[in-house]
Structure 1
Amino acid sequence: MRGQGGSLPLKQRRPGRFGPDTPAPQIYPRSDDVTDPLALTFAETDLDAIAAQKGRIAVVLDPDGGLSVVARRVNKLTRGALTRLTEAAGFADKKAGEVITLAWPQGLAAEALDVVLLPRRAETALLRKTGGKLAKLLGADGMLVLAGNLNLPGELALGMMLRAYAYDAQKTEKATPNGPVQVMCARPDVDVAALQAIASGVFFTRDLINAPANVLTTTRFADQLAELSHLGIEIEVLSEDRLRDLGMGALLAVGQGSDSPSSVVVMQWRGGTGDDAPLALVGKGVVFDTGGISLKGAAGMEDMTMDMGGAGTVAGTMKALALRKAAANVVGLVGIVENMPSGSAVRPGDVVTTMKGDTVEVINTDAEGRLVLCDVMWYAQERFHPKAMIDLATLTGACIVALGHENAGVFSNSDPLCNAFLKAATAEGEGAWRLPMGQGYDDALKSRIADMKNVGGRPGGAIVAAQYLRRFVRDETPWIHLDIAGVASLKGETATAPAGATGWGVMALNRLVKDGFEG
Structure 2
Amino acid sequence: MPQTIEIKTSAGIPASTGTLVIYVAEGAAPTGGAATIWAATGLDWARVTRAAGFKGKQGQMLDLLAPTGLDAARLLVLGAGKPDASASPSAWTDRGGSLAGKLMALKADQVAVLLEEAGATPDRIAELAAGLRLRHYRFDKYRAKKDEPGEAAVLAITLHVADPAATDAAIANRGATVSGTLLARDLINEPANVLGTLEFAAAAQQLTSLGVTVEELDEPAMQALGMNALLVVSQGSARPPRLVIMSWNGGKKGDAPLAFVGKGVVFDTGGISIKGAAGMEDMKGDMGGAAAVTGLMHALAARKAPVNAIGVIGLVENMPSSTAMRPGDIVKAMSGTTIEIINTDAEGRLVLSDALWYTQQRFKPRFMINLATLTGAIGVALGNDHAGLFSNNDELSANLLAAGLATGEKLWRMPMGPAYDKLIESRFADIKNSAGRPAGSITAAQFLLRFVNDVPWAHLDIAGTALGSPTTETNTSWTSGFGVALLDRLVRDNYEPAPAKAK
Pair in the same fold by TM > 0.5: yes
SS for the counterpart of 1:374 is helix
Match of 1:218 among 188, 192, 197: 197
Whether the 8 Å CA contact 2:29–2:45 is kept in 1: the answer is: no
Match of 1:490 among 452, 465, 468: 468
Match of 2:58 among 87, 91, 96: 96
Identity %: 47
For 2:430, give the aligned amino acid.
D
Separation in structure 2 between the aligned mates of residue 341 and residue 268 of structure 1, nearest angstrom: 34
1:110 aligns with 72
Aligned pairs for 1:413-492 (under 5 A) are 413-475=392-454, 477-490=455-468, 492=470
Shift of 1:194: 0.9
1:59 aligns with 22
Whether the 8 Å CA contact 2:130–2:171 is kept in 1: the answer is: no
Separation in structure 1 between the aligned mates of residue 67 and residue 369 of structure 2, nearest angstrom: 52
SS for the counterpart of 1:53 is strand
1:70 aligns with 33
CA deviation map 1:458-502 (0-9, x unaligned): 110000000000000112x00000000000022541111113110
Aligned pairs for 1:220-235 (under 5 A) are 220-235=199-214
Whether the 8 Å CA contact 1:396–1:461 is kept in 2: the answer is: yes
1:369 aligns with 348
Separation in structure 1 between the aligned mates of residue 416 and residue 470 of structure 2, nearest angstrom: 31
Separation in structure 1 between the aligned mates of residue 494 and residue 111 of structure 2, nearest angstrom: 36
Match of 1:147 among 115, 119, 128: 115
Aligned pairs for 1:286-435 (under 5 A) are 286-435=265-414
For 2:184, give the aligned amino acid.
T
Match of 1:171 among 120, 143, 150: 143
SS for the counterpart of 2:334 is coil
Whether the 8 Å CA contact 1:99–1:133 is kept in 2: the answer is: no
1:131 aligns with 96
Shift of 1:82: 4.6
For 1:116, give the aligned amino acid.
L
Q: Which has the higher helix share?
A: 2
> Does 2:3 correspond to 1:40?
no
Coordinate RMSD, CA, aligned: 1.9
SS for the counterpart of 2:205 is helix
2:501 aligns with none
Shift of 1:72: 1.9
Separation in structure 2 between the aligned mates of residue 303 and residue 210 of structure 1, nearest angstrom: 9
Shift of 1:37: 7.9
SS for the counterpart of 2:263 is strand
TM-score (norm 2): 0.92
Where structure 2 has 5 or more consecutive residues not aligned to the other structure, the ranges are 498-503
Separation in structure 1 between the aligned mates of residue 352 and residue 4 of structure 2, nearest angstrom: 31
Separation in structure 2 between the aligned mates of residue 352 and residue 158 of structure 1, nearest angstrom: 46
SS for the counterpart of 1:426 is helix
For 1:58, give the aligned amino acid.
V
Where structure 1 has 5 or more consecutive residues not aligned to the other structure, the ranges are 1-32
1:15 aligns with none
For 1:349, give the aligned amino acid.
G
Separation in structure 2 between the aligned mates of residue 36 and residue 440 of structure 1, nearest angstrom: 54
Whether the 8 Å CA contact 1:37–1:200 is kept in 2: the answer is: no
> Does 2:159 correspond to 1:183?
yes
Aligned pairs for 1:244-263 (under 5 A) are 244-263=223-242
Of 147-156 and 480-489, more deviation after overlay is shown by 147-156
Change (3 A) 1:91 1:385: same
Whether the 8 Å CA contact 1:37–1:199 is kept in 2: the answer is: no
Shift of 1:155: 2.4
CA deviation map 1:95-121 (0-9, x unaligned): 234233233433444333221111555
Separation in structure 2 between the aligned mates of residue 258 and residue 125 of structure 1, nearest angstrom: 42
Separation in structure 2 between the aligned mates of residue 400 and residue 36 of structure 1, nearest angstrom: 34
Of 67-76 and 214-223, more deviation after overlay is shown by 67-76
Shift of 1:129: 1.8
For 1:238, give the aligned amino acid.
L
Shift of 1:69: 1.9
Separation in structure 2 between the aligned mates of residue 459 and residue 439 of structure 1, nearest angstrom: 15
Separation in structure 1 between the aligned mates of residue 143 and residue 83 of structure 2, nearest angstrom: 41
Separation in structure 2 between the aligned mates of residue 368 and residue 433 of structure 1, nearest angstrom: 24
Whether the 8 Å CA contact 1:409–1:483 is kept in 2: the answer is: yes
Whether the 8 Å CA contact 2:233–2:316 is kept in 1: the answer is: yes
For 2:135, give the aligned amino acid.
R
Shift of 1:170: 1.7
Separation in structure 2 between the aligned mates of residue 514 and residue 38 of structure 1, nearest angstrom: 26
Separation in structure 2 between the aligned mates of residue 499 and residue 78 of structure 1, nearest angstrom: 38
Separation in structure 2 between the aligned mates of residue 388 and residue 171 of structure 1, nearest angstrom: 42
How many residues of Structure 1 are paired with residues of Structure 2 in the alignment? 480
SS for the counterpart of 2:115 is strand
Shift of 1:421: 1.0
Shift of 1:81: 6.4
Whether the 8 Å CA contact 1:149–1:185 is kept in 2: the answer is: no
Whether the 8 Å CA contact 2:138–2:477 is kept in 1: the answer is: no
Change (3 A) 1:327 1:465: same
TM-score (norm 1): 0.89
